[in-house]
Every structure is written in structure tokens, then in C-alpha cells.
Amino acid sequence: MSGTAHIYRAGRPDAEGPVVVFVHGAGHDHSVWNLPARYLARHGYRVLAPDLPGHGQSAGPPLPSVEAMARWLLALLAEQGIAQATLAGHSMGSLIALEAAAQAGAAVEGLALIGTGVPMPVAPALIDAARDNRAKAHAMINQWSFSPGALIGRGAVPGQLAPVGNLRLMARQAEGVLHADLLACDAYQGGLEAAARVTCPVLIVCGQRDQMTPPRNLGSLGDALSRDASRLMIHTLDACGHAIMAEQPDALTDTLVHWRSSF
Amino acid sequence: MTDTSRFGPATLGLHAGQSPDAEFGSRATPIHFTTSYVFPDCDTAAARFDLARTGHVYSRISNPTNAVLEERIAALEGGVGAIAVASGQAALHLAITTLMGAGGHVVASRALYGGSHNLLTYTLPRFGITTSFVDPADPAAWRAALRPETRLLFGETLGNPGLDVLDIPTVATIAHDAGLPLLVDSTLSSPALLRPIEHGADLVMHSATKFLGGHGVAVGGLLIDGGTFDWQASGRFPTLTEPYEGFHDMVFADESPVAAFLLRARREGLRDFGACLSPMNAFQILQGIETLSLRMARHVANARTVAEHLAAHEGVVSVAYPGLPGHRDHALAARLMPQGCGSVMSFELDGGRQAGRAFIEALRLFSHLANVGDAKSLVIHPASTTHFRMSAEELARAGIGEGTVRLSVGLEDPADLLADLDRGLAAAARAAGRTA
Ligand SMILES: Cc1ncc(COP(=O)(O)O)c(C=O)c1O
């Protein structure tokens, strides 16, 4: 597997300390994580942000289900000799992290679900566009992913336009990858059961203006997770859309660091 | 549909890249006249230096006013981002030095602004970077000039001053087939008339001194990255795909596959060469961009009127303006720039250098100076000014004759412009010994 998986280590390949694994979402790659990943890698954590199969620089066809992606992720960690890790996932990556946490039990020390929703039904029009007209699918995703201010106003990184960056990143993935990812999100039915099996501390970060996975849909996930309410923290970022790492990377970093250092 | 966003160019020109500031709600873009930025704490300071947090450190690298300009031009061009620099020349230099070092090679259109020609012909070879110049309209010439060490193809949307139109889709295909990016100087068309990235260009540069500012008060340059070029797949750009010792072994293309070029250009090029833009200039150029769409429509309308008037005049041998049916690139211009092809043109006076001098000195509204793209109409004689370093042979190849006059048609009332030109043409006729 190691021959085919690309892992971004935030410029600190030799870092030691508790492991934090970042899992990107549909049609993306590791680079969505670079700011929080770099910060944690410089603050006592060993950071890994893999490209899922078929994404970024990882070879192979995309995996067909969230369960398969979770198994792949756990196998990757085992291969890296990692016995315990905190998993942080965005969007589809949050489902992968959730499923992996349920499968792995105590090996997952903490679970951060960013821009999440369980279940995660995907609009049929978007799934069809991902198959038939990628540019249209990318435009739809951007429209639903960025808050109104982020679509036209000031960006988080001076001189860069996150919405165009998102279009270009999605366009770089091979034909069929986004479609497979969206189908996997849509088909994943085991999320609430998985949530009920999670025993580690959980953080949910949501964007107040998220139209892709709106915060108002978080009720059943919260219920499933909060059998032990002291272990669940929910943080809402004002004025933020679904593209949380792109819109408010520093606030996300603060939230992650604050949460992760509490256990 | 442009894939930039759902907004049109007039809206983007007014809004993109700016949000009213959090403290006072200022609607206009504030001029952040500061060299540096107070860090809230040591941890944040270290994180900003190490690209682990966003935010400004020092205005040579980034500045909040400049960032609005950068994001606004990127939105207009459909790029992932941009870098504001001190001049158009600095933009070209930054693009080239980010992509190559000694041993690198550029293939460029030979119909270039004289300053770009100087940089490529005389100055960069001193640093080991050489250029081959080709007829921009000859695809075979572009292909034949490629070498194993070529790293960039470069041309102007409208070749200054012959007004050759660059066939961006064709040259982009030639570049991409060779695993190379295409840089386009879009100064004379501006994003109101042509967005090169939509036609296949990978990088775009502007002398913002011209139409973007429009007022002729500020020199500046912009370099935009389309985010489309795959540096890793190309394998020819170690500056972007291999660890950079000068920034903690950062591999820019791993950090951001889509913005690797911008990261390196800012973290190395701006940091070390230092050709940053003053925030005052950034503000002034932003003021210009707010009305770019409106102004370009008027520039084009006035230019058409002037070109047709000159073409019909007996004292004019020829007019080079791609908006006229007789221009070699008329059909290409209509395809790439359906809203019009700017307002710079050149024409050949009957009577050579003498007639040219008399023409220019008789004008009252057209200002005789070395610039284009001002709201005011401008005129110059390229052979004795902007292109004076070129040999007679090079001049001829660039389409510049002894009697060539270049106009940049401004926003004045068209009747006043025609009256002024007629005054000049009458003087030219007298100088040439004809009766007007
Ligand atoms: C087409 C073109 N490119 C580049 C430049 C150089 O720009 P600047 O004078 O801002 O350095 C100019 C200036 O005349 C130009 O006309």
C-alpha cells in the first residue's frame, strides 16, 4: 500500500508526539489541510494527511464506499506503525473518520468531524452532474460550499481566491473520482450506528452558513454521539460555509488545538 | 459560463476581494500604509512566518490593500490568486525567475513591448536565461523554437505596437503538448475584453499602469496564476516540485498543487528580489478597476471611430487595428475579443519620419508621451522612442516603420479627437509637401 499512498506530513516528516490524521473530502486532496496541519505539526503532534486512493498523488481507483475507505485508512495507519491516533475529517472525510473510529475502537483517541452531516444525502442533480458535466458539478459545489462573503469578498490567505482554488483542485482529480465519492457519501447508511459505538472525545465543527451539510441537520448525530455528553464538543463558526479550512483556517486551528489539548 | 463565480466582470471589478473592514465598516478599500503588522503573541508570529497561520508579516511580502487588488484581478481573470508588483516589468521578471534559473530558455512572440524585449534580449542572458523570438502567427515557428531547456512560452494578447493578436488557444496547446506553461501579457486588452486563462493560458501578467489604472497616475504590475498547470506532471519545474532549502525544504506543489507558483513567487521572488507595490499605488489601481468595464467599452467605441477615420484618410498609408477588416488578425480578434480589441493602434503616415514629427507636434488633445491605456488620448513615434534599441531589421520584423505612429485612444468626445487628428494630418501633409 505504501507504494501507492501519498502522505503529506506538513513539512515535519520526523515529528514525534500524538498522531493527528487529516482526511480530506470528496474531489479533494491533502492540500485542503495545509494550514491546520502545519500548525499542529509545529506544536507537538505528528501529522499525516493522506491522499485517498485515486485522489491527489495516490494511485488506484477511488474506493466505492465509506466503509472501504475507513478500512483503507486503518490499514494505512497500521502500516505506518501507528497504534493510536486522533482522526479529523472534512465532509466525506468526516464519514470516513467516523466509520474508522467505530471500526477501530480504542485505537482512535479523538474524532473531529468538520463540515459533517449523518447521514449525508447528496442532491441527485449534483451526482448526475459529477458524472455528466464536471464543470457544472464543481460550480454547484462551490455555490453550496462557500458563504456569500467568501464567494466574492476578502479571502483568508492574502492574494488567493479560495473558490477558484477549489474549482482547480477538483478539476485536477481524474474523471469519475468526484462521482464515486458523492455516491459513497449518499450510500453510507451506517453513520448513526457508528456514532453510537464511538467512545472517544468527539469534536464537531460546523459553519453557520453551510448549505452542503447544514448545522440544523446535526440533531440525530448529536443524539447518537452524546450518550456521554461530556465527551462531545460542538463548535459553530460564524459566517462560515462548508469550506471551513478555506474560509476560516485559523479559527479551525484554534478550535482543534483547544479541543485536542483537553485530553 | 466563466468558472470564476456567478458574478459578471462589472460586479467583480467593484467588489471582488474586499469585505468592509471589521473595525469601522469602511466601504472603500482602506490604504494600509504600514510596513509591518503587530503580532498578537509570539506563537502567532512564528506560525505566520512558517505558513501555519494566515495574516501579514511585512509589506514587502503582503499587504492588506495589495491583497484586495490581487484578489480582485484574480477574480476578473479567473485565477487562483495574484501577486501585485512594482511594475509590469517586475511582473514579467517575477514570472520568469520563479520558473527557471540559469540555463532556462523562453520562447516568445517577437511582437512585444520594447521593455519586455529589452529584458529578454539584453538583460536576462547575463543571468543565463535566453529567449528565442518567433512570429506569433506561425504555430510551426513556436514548435520549432522549443528546446529541452525551454520552460515558458510568452506573448502579448495584442502585440505592442503592431497589434498582432495572439492565438492563445493554439499557442497554449503547443505549450501544453510540450509540458510547458503559457504566460500572456494581457495589458492591452484587460480582462474586460479578454480573459486568457479561459482560452488556455496558465499565467497572465499586466502592466497595471495602463488600462487597469486608467488614470495614468500609478505604475504597477500584476501576475496572475490560473492554477491550471500541473507542475508535477510536467516534471520540469524543480523550483516548484522539489524541496526549497530557502524555505525549510518546502515542496510548493505538495503544499498546494493549485497555488504552488504563487507560493514560490511570493516566498522567494517578492522576498528576495523585493519588487513590491506600494499600497498607495494598489489603492489607485483599484480605483481604476472599479470602472474598467465601463471605460473599456468607451475606449473601444472611440478607437473604432478613430481607426475608421484614419483608414479613410488619404494621408494615411495603412492602419494597424485588429478591429478593422483589413488587419491580418481581424477574424481571430473577433473570436477572442468579441467586445472589441482595445484602443491602441498604429498607423503609417505618408511622408515618413518628417510627416510623423509634424503630425505629433500639431496635435493638441493627444499627449505625446511614452504610455498607453490612459483615459486621455496619447501618441508616440515608436521607432525613435519605445523601440529605439531595435535594429532596422528588428523594427521591420516587429512591423514598425519610419512613419509609424502609435495612438492610445482615450475617453474624450470622439468629435474632438477626430478634429485633433485632422489638424495633425494636415500638418503632416504640409511637411510631406502635399496640400491637405
Ligand atoms: C504590453 C506591456 N507590457 C508591459 C509593460 C511594462 O509595464 P510597466 O511600465 O508597468 O513596467 C508595458 C508598458 O508600456 C506594456 O505596454
pLDDT digits (tens, 9 = 90+) for A119-128: 999 999 999 9
pLDDT at A33 over 60: yes
Mutate to test the pocket of ligand 1, among B117, B160, B203 (most ligand atoms within 8 A of CB): B160
| Residues in B touching A169 (Cβ below 8 Å) | 257-258
Q: CA of B91 to nearest chain A CA: how many angstroms apart?
A: 15
| Residues in A touching B84 (Cβ below 8 Å) | 159
Best probe of the A interface among B1, B2, B3, B18, by most A CBs < 10 A, is: B3
Predicted complex ipTM exceeds 0.95: yes
User: Cβ(B305)–Cβ(B417) under 8 Å?
Assistant: yes
Across the interface, which of B3, B64, B250 has its CB nearest the CB of A139? Answer: B3
**For chain B, what is the mean pLDDT?**
95
Among residues A172, A169, A112, the alpha carbon closest in space to that of A145 is found at A169
pLDDT at B2 over 80: no
Distance B88 CA to ligand 1 centre (A): 5
Whole-number Å distance between alpha carbons of B359 and B141:
37
Are the beta carbons of B68 and A154 separated by less than 8 Å?
yes
pLDDT at B77 over 80: yes
3-state secondary structure chain A: CCCCCCEECCCCCCCCCCEEEEECCCCCCHHHHHHHHHHHHCCCCEEEEECCCCCCCCCCCCCCCHHHHHHHHHHHHHHCCCCCEEEEEECHHHHHHHHHHHHHHHHEEEEEEECCCCCCCCCHHHHHHHHHCHHHHHHHHHHHHCCHHHHHCCCCCCCECHHHHHHHHHHHCCCCHHHHHHHHHHHCCCHHHHHHHCCCCEEEEEECCCCCCCHHHHHHHHHHHHHHHHHEEEEEECCCCCCHHHHCHHHHHHHHHHHHCCC
What secondary structure does DSSP assign to B278-316, as a single string? PHHHHHHHHHHHTTHHHHHHHHHHHHHHHHHHHHT-TTE
B25 Ramachandran zone, left/alpha/beta (phi>0; psi -120 to 50):
left
Query: Which residue is it, cell 525544504?
Result: B249
Are the beta carbons of B80 and A158 separated by less than 8 Å?
no
Half-sphere exposure of B222 (CA within 13 A, CB side): 37
Could you give the 3-state DSSP secondary structure of residue B106? strand
Average pLDDT over residues B252-258: 98
Residue of minimum CA distance from atom 9 in ligand 1: B88
What secondary structure does DSSP assign to B182-212, as a single string? EEEE-TTTHHHH--GGGGT-SEEEEETTTTT
Beta carbons within 10 angstroms of residue B147's beta carbon: 12
Assign a CATH topology to domain B293-431: Aspartate Aminotransferase, domain 1 (3.90.1150)
Name the packing angle between helices A177-187 and A124-132 (round to 10°): 160
Assign a CATH topology to domain A7-260: Rossmann fold (3.40.50)
**Helix (H), strand (E) at residue B76:** helix B64-77
Are the beta carbons of B74 and A8 separated by less than 8 Å?
no
Interface of B with A in 213-242 (CB under 8 A): 226-228, 230, 232
Interface of B with A in 239-268 (CB under 8 A): 248-250, 254-259, 262, 266
pLDDT for res B433: 86
Could you give the 3-state DSSP secondary structure of residue B121? helix
Q: Look at B1-5, B156-160, B215-219, B351-355 and tell me which has the smallest mean pLDDT.
A: B1-5
Q: Name all residues whose Cβ lies below 6 A of ligand 1.
A: B 87-89, 113, 115-116, 156, 160, 185, 187-188, 207, 209, 219, 221, 372
Beta carbons within 10 angstroms of residue B27's beta carbon: 9
Q: Which residue of B has its CA nearest to A165?
A: B80
Work out whether strand A232-237 and strand B81-85 pair parallel, antiparallel, or are unpaired: unpaired
Among residues A87, A96, A103, the alpha carbon closest in space to that of A48 is found at A87
| Residues in B touching A170 (Cβ below 8 Å) | none
User: Ligand 1 atom closest to Cα of B386?
Assistant: 14
- Sign of the torsion angle spanned by Cα atoms B263, B264, B268, B270: negative
Distance B223 CA to ligand 1 centre (A): 12
Among residues A17, B144, A74, the alpha carbon closest in space to that of B133 is found at B144
Quick check: bond before B161 cis, omega within 30?
Answer: yes
pLDDT at B3 over 50: no
| Residues in A touching B248 (Cβ below 8 Å) | 11
Residues facing A46 on adjacent strands: A19
Give me the architecture of the B9-289 domain, per CATH.
3-Layer(aba) Sandwich (3.40)
pLDDT at A3 over 70: no
Whole-number Å distance between alpha carbons of B268 and A32:
22
Residue of minimum CA distance from atom 12 in ligand 1: B207
Q: How confident is the model at residue A229 (pLDDT cuts 50, 70, 90)?
A: low
**Helix (H), strand (E) at residue B224:** strand B221-225
The string of pLDDT tens digits covering residues B181-193 is 999 999 999 999 9
Any CB–CB contact under 8 A between B7 and chain A? yes
List strand residue ranges (DSSP E) for B43-200, in order.
Answer: 81-85, 105-109, 130-134, 150-156, 182-185
The whole model's pTM is what? 0.97
pLDDT at B383 over 80: no
pLDDT for res A138: 97
Q: Kindly report the length of chain A.
A: 263
pLDDT at B98 over 90: yes
pLDDT for res A127: 98
Interface of B with A in 19-78 (CB under 8 A): 19, 46-47, 50-56, 62-64, 66-68, 70-71, 74-75, 78
Cell numbers found for residue B414: 470622439
Average pLDDT over residues B121-135: 97
A71 Ramachandran zone, left/alpha/beta (phi>0; psi -120 to 50):
alpha
Residues facing B85 on adjacent strands: B221, B276
DSSP code of residue B126 = G
Among residues A242, A251, A250, the alpha carbon closest in space to that of A93 is found at A242
